[in-house]
């Protein structure tokens, strides 16, 4: 099974954010960026997470993502979950 690096997952996170919020196409993303501060409302955030789980073939209960503070932490959690798959 092909495993992605945490950096690759971070790039996927950035790509899906830009798909949902095209205005961020030229944004210089950092791991400390928070979706809400980037202008993502709750529906946007849910869509981004759904797209990520589909792309990464993961099924994670949303509650496990509850404490995630920024996109770097999101990428890290997704990376850890993909390793455990």
pTM (whole model) above 0.85: yes
Query: Looking at residue 15, what is its pLDDT?
Result: 98
**Residue 61 to residue 25: CA distance in whole angstroms:** 29
Separation in Å, CA 23 to CA 5, 13, 27, 39: 27, 15, 8, 10
Walk along the chain (85 residues) in steps of 10 and give the mean pLDDT of each run: 88 98 97 97 96 95 90 96 86
Q: Is the dihedral of CA 31, 33, 39, 42 positive or negative?
A: positive
Domains of the chain plus CATH, in order, are 6-84 (1.10.1200.10)
* Nearest CA among 39, 44, 1, 46 for reference residue 19: 44
């Amino acid at each position: 099974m092909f495993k992605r690096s945490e950096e690759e997952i971070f790039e996927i996170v950035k790509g899906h954010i830009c798909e949902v919020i095209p205005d961020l196409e030229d944004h210089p993303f950092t791991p400390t960026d928070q979706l809400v501060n980037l202008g993502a409302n709750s529906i946007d955030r849910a869509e981004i997470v759904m797209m990520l789980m589909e792309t990464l073939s993961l099924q994670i209960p949303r509650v496990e993502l509850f404490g995630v503070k920024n996109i770097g932490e999101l990428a890290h959690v997704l990376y850890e979950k993909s390793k455990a798959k």
